[in-house]
Amino acid sequence: MLKSLLKPKAWIAKVLLLIVIVGFFASGFSGYLTPIQELLNSEAMSFKVGDTQFSAYMLVRASIIIILLFWLASIVSDFGEAHLKKLKNVNVSNRALIIKALQILIYFIAFLVAMDLLEIDLTGLAIFSGAIGIGVGIGLQKIASNFISGIILLFEKTVVEDDLIELEDGTSGFVRHTGARYTMIETFENREIMIPNEDFITHRMTNWTYSNTLGRIDIQVGVSYKSDIKKAHRLLLEAAKEHPKSSKEVQPVCFLEEYGDSAVMFTLYFWVDNIIEGRKKPKSEVLFSIWDKFEANNIEIPFPQRDVHVKNIGELK
């Protein structure tokens, strides 16, 4: 509710808020609010904190001034953000950093102007400063941590918009927005997940597109002991090289890994130039190609099997 007052999104809300504020000040200048002002300024509706006296009128006036200033600050902030996003000669991370710095500056100026208009002597609140400071420090610890982590990410440029990332818990997707408190990830299922900025600093994170978009795909294949394993090795490489997404700069490689219980195990590695276009489809298509090539060349992919030898079969009968 407070956020919607300080920063209304809809234009109708902004217009209504402006009408209410203008009407309030117009009534004050015309003298219609004088009886109400005298009532709110009376001793019965006033209290002291240290040497500073507060009245109900002062609190109402302060609330209106704060809402008005932060409302104007939000309009200036949105206006500046919209124009900064149009700067094509500045990369995404630098634009986000400039926007964040501009927002901090605008709201800080609004805060100073509000303190000046309200003529608040902050020394009068010194009696509560210790307790308030501890409470605010504990309550805003995570918020401050996420905010600072977001600034670090923007400076280091380790995570920028449209990067393909994978978190330690297996969550993967594209970075769509980096905010003051969180980074929004759009997963392959079109889910939008808000990840606290602190997680990118304190946990491991894989950025598939940090320095380039080249990505490796691994395929493990078992070949029967009865088959020609050298021909199988050649066919595996052919299947990878013939795929249109296979990189021409980095050639596929295939290794004989081990002699397993039921099969000779090969591992095929091939690379795609743009991992953003996906890994599952090229992997699936290469697997289909391997199946067709093995079938055409009598290369068998065995299923797990065991040989059982029964001794003294006569005694069992």
Residue 302 in domain: no
Q: Answer yes or no: are the C-beta atoms of 183 and 171 closer than 8 Å.
A: no
SS3 267: strand
- Assigned domain for 134 exists: no
Q: Which two tokens stand for residue 60?
A: 């109402």
Instruction: Determine the length of the chain.
Output: 317
Instruction: Output the pLDDT for position 34.
Output: 66
Q: What is the number of other CB atoms lying within 10 angstroms of the CB of residue 193?
A: 13
| Residue 247 CB neighbours (<10 A) | 17
User: How far is the C-alpha of 313 from the C-alpha of 317, rounded, in Å?
Assistant: 6
Least confident of 69-78, 90-99, 237-246: 90-99
Please check whether residue 145 lies inside any domain of the structure: no
> What pLDDT digit, counting tens, does each position of 193-208 carry?
888 888 888 888 888 8
- Mean pLDDT computed over 210-238: 90
Pair (233, 197) in one structural domain = no
Examine the pLDDT at 273 and tell me if it is beyond 60.
yes
Residue 250 token pair: 């980095």
Instruction: Please check whether residues 110 and 94 belong to one and the same domain.
Output: yes
Cβ contact 216:282 at 8 Å: no
- What's the pLDDT at 239? 94
Distance CA 181, CA 198 (A): 9
- Tell me which amino acid residue 279 is: R
Query: Do 222 and 203 share a structural domain?
Result: no
Mean model confidence pLDDT for the chain: 77
Tens of pLDDT, residue by residue over 135-184, are: 556 656 777 777 788 778 777 778 888 888 888 888 888 888 877 678 88
Average pLDDT of 233-238? 94
Report the CATH number at residue 171.
2.30.30.60
Residue 17 structural domain: 2-124
Q: For residues 64 and 57, give the distance between their C-alpha atoms in angstroms, rounded to a whole number.
A: 11
Q: Which residue has the tokens 């299923």?
A: 303
Q: 172 and 277, same structural domain?
A: no
Distance CA(189)–CA(259), nearest Å, equals: 39
Say which CATH number the domain at 251 has. Answer: 3.30.70.100
Degrees to nearest 5, angle at CA 60 with 54 and 66: 105
Q: How confident is the model at residue 287 (pLDDT cuts 50, 70, 90)?
A: very high
Q: Are 92 and 160 in contact (CB under 8 A)?
A: yes
**Higher local confidence (pLDDT), 223 or 83:** 223
Region for 36 from its dihedrals, namely left if φ exceeds 0, alpha if ψ lies in -120 to 50, beta otherwise: alpha
Six token digits for residue 4 = 């919607």
- Over pLDDT 90: what percentage of the chain? 19
Which region, left, alpha or beta, applies to residue 298 given φ > 0 means left and ψ of -120 to 50 means alpha? left
141 falls within a domain: no
Which of these three, 190, 207, 224, is where a domain ends? 207
Are residues 243 and 278 both part of a single domain? yes
The verdict on residue 262 lying in a domain is yes
Q: Could you tell me if 191 and 265 lie in one domain? A: no
Residues 6 and 115 in one domain: yes
pLDDT value at residue 20: 67
pLDDT confidence of residue 119: 64
Q: Assess if residue 85 is contained within a domain.
A: yes
Residue 6, classified by CB atoms within 10 Å of its CB into exposed (0-12), middle (13-18) or buried (19+), is: middle
Is residue 167 located within the same domain as residue 277? no
Residue 136 lies in a domain: no
The three-class DSSP label of residue 184 is strand
Q: Among residues 162, 190, 207, which one ends one of the domains? A: 207
pTM (predicted TM-score): 0.53
Question: Could you tell me which residues come within 8 angstroms of residue 126 by beta carbon, excluding any fewer than 6 positions away?
Answer: 50
When divided into structural domains, the chain yields a total of: 3
Reported confidence tier of residue 284, pLDDT bands at 50, 70, 90 = very high
Beta bridge partners of 256: 266
Q: Which two tokens stand for residue 168?
A: 């330690």
DSSP string covering 289-307, please? Answer: HHHHHHHHTT---PPP---
Same domain, 116 and 9: yes
Compute and round to an integer the Cα radius of gyration of the chain.
34
Which residue, 184, 207, 230, sits at the end of a domain?
207
pLDDT tens by residue, 26-60: 666 666 666 666 666 666 666 665 555 666 667 77
Q: With cut-offs at 50, 70 and 90, classify the pLDDT of residue 291.
A: very high
SS3 142: helix
- Single-letter amino acid code for the residue at 233: H
Q: Residue 2's pLDDT band (boundaries 50, 70, 90)? A: very low
